[in-house]
Amino acid sequence: MTDLQSIAPRDKAEILAQALPYIRQFHGKTMVIKYGGNAMTDPALQQDFAEDVVLLKLVGMNPVVVHGGGPQIEQALKKLGKKGEFVQGMRVTDAETMEVVEWVLAGEVQQDIVGLINQAGGKAVGLTGRDGGLIRARKLKMLDHHDPAVEHDVGQVGDIVEIDPSVVKALQDDAFIPVVSPIGFGEDNESYNINADVVASRLATVLQAEKLVMLTNIPGVLDKAGQLLPELTPQQIDSLIADGTISGGMLPKLAGAIDAAKAGVHAVHIVDGRVPHSMLLEILTDQAYGTMIRSQD
């Protein structure tokens, strides 16, 4: 990473001057950040992320962090001698697995993130969907890709019924940074494991966020030649899916991103979390460090 001491004063001033219009434009606005991938597991990148979140808060923005934790869940299940089972890319979550998911996400992972942000000078507070009735969920109905008449039972995997953002707004107003684990609760107070990308997208929509930033392990959306596409509209993404340019693991991420953009989130950024401070650079400079999906043509 570039050492700040090695940057000439003129260049430092240029960087700060470039950030100023963005700081002014986004002051008081909500930024929902989906935290995942290498940025979540590499110690140096973890620290960069925490510093970036605190800086956004200090310059007057309202960051809300939603985190995943697939690798950490897998590790915990292995320790218990339990093998993860997947159907159509979705983790089968029986009662025992759900217990592991809860203590890994709402315990270990969430508290690590809260600690990092607090250490960097912020005031983070951890939430699950149960806190303040934040995420109401029901059992996800998973239909077979090939035969929609067949329904797969994937256990306590949830579909969002409703998000009540009042607890998040209350924390924001009190200068706290909410850190949300993607766990919802059902009618009988049962817990549900929910895809973190989906939670981030829905939360951004409900909070009428200015931006949804999704940290990933890829540079962004790439064209057929492997070149980064710095800016797209939902309509262009539809075309890229139709011609097969976008496929596989990128599809669910983009589905949430498109929904958020169509529902009024001004811009969705899919950012390379392997680049130090990429989130900050994407929000506060002209340089593209990922793909931005705009809400309109």
Summarize pLDDT for 148-197 with one digit per residue, the tens.
Answer: 888 888 899 999 999 999 999 999 888 999 999 999 999 999 999 999 99
Q: In what order do the strands lie in the sheet with 211-216?
A: 124-127, 177-180, 62-67, 30-35, 211-216, 267-272, 290-294, 231-232
274 marked ligand binding residue: no
CA distance 128 to 134: 7
| pLDDT score of 109 more than 60 | yes
Q: Which CATH number fits domain 16-294: 3.40.50.12780, 3.40.50.300, 3.50.50.60, 3.40.1160.10?
A: 3.40.1160.10
Q: Summarize the confidence of residues 129-158 as an average pLDDT.
A: 90
Six-digit token pair at 172? 């924001």
User: Where do the structural domains in the chain lie, given as residue ranges?
Assistant: 16-294
Place of tokens 């700060």: 16
CA distance 109 to 80: 18
Q: How many CB atoms lie within 10 A of CB 101?
A: 26
Q: What is the pLDDT of residue 1?
A: 46
136 marked ligand binding residue: no
Six-digit token pair at 90? 């979705």
107 marked ligand binding residue: no
Q: What is the pLDDT of residue 22?
A: 92
24 marked ligand binding residue: no
Three-class secondary structure assignment of 130-159: CHHHCEEEEECCEECCCCCCCEECCECEEE
Q: What is the pLDDT of residue 66?
A: 97
Q: What is the pTM of this model?
A: 0.91
